[in-house]
Amino acid sequence: MSAKSPAITAVGRRKTASARIRLSRGTGSISINGKPAEEYLYTEALVKAATAPIRIAGLEGQLDISVNVIGGGPNGQAGAISHGLARAIQKMDATLRAPLKKEGLLTRDGRMRERKKPGRPGARKRFQFSKR
């Protein structure tokens, strides 16, 4: 890493997953929790979802990305990585905010699992009603 291109950090979240992103100019390598992205995110759809901000910004092969992601499952983690990457790219170059915003990548997806309520078998399910 050279002195003229310092690393940029950002955090992305989705459901219960949280991803810390470290971004710097480089060769295009992406490592997630010490593994290559294709190995960690085991399906092509998850890799595409996680790296969408890079494609939209037109920065394929120009950034070295190191990700530390915890919590959640594969889909939540891919969403958290995408959110964090979009925020880091926006920090790096403010002119890329408009295309990222248009694709909805800068917005935190607030949908969470609904909690189980007391006296019920699940979050919304009720026990069977018997009139008599």
**What is the domain count for the chain?**
1
pLDDT of amino acid 1: 45
Percentage of the chain exceeding pLDDT 70: 96
In a domain, 124, yes or no: no
Query: Does 130 reside within a domain?
Result: no
Closest CA to 33 of 20, 15, 49: 20
Query: ∠ CA 94-100-101 to the nearest 5 degrees?
Result: 95
Least confident interval from 3-7, 18-22, 62-66, 99-103:
3-7
Q: pTM score, two decimals?
A: 0.88
In a domain, 111, yes or no: no
Cα 31 from Cα 68, distance rounded (Å): 9
Range of the domain at 66: 8-102
| Position 44 in a domain | yes
Mean pLDDT (whole number) for 94-109:
94
- Please check whether residue 106 is in contact with residue 97, taking contact to mean a CB–CB distance below 8 angstroms: yes
pLDDT of residue 5: 66
Region 85-90: mean pLDDT is 95
In a domain? residue 88: yes
Provide the CATH number for the domain around residue 82. 3.30.230.10
Q: What is the pLDDT of residues 6-64, one digit of tens each?
A: 899 999 999 999 999 999 998 999 999 999 999 999 999 999 999 999 999 999 999 99
Q: Flag whether 46 is in a domain.
A: yes
What's the rounded mean pLDDT across residues 109-128?
95
The answer, yes or no, to whether residue 3 has pLDDT greater than 70, is no
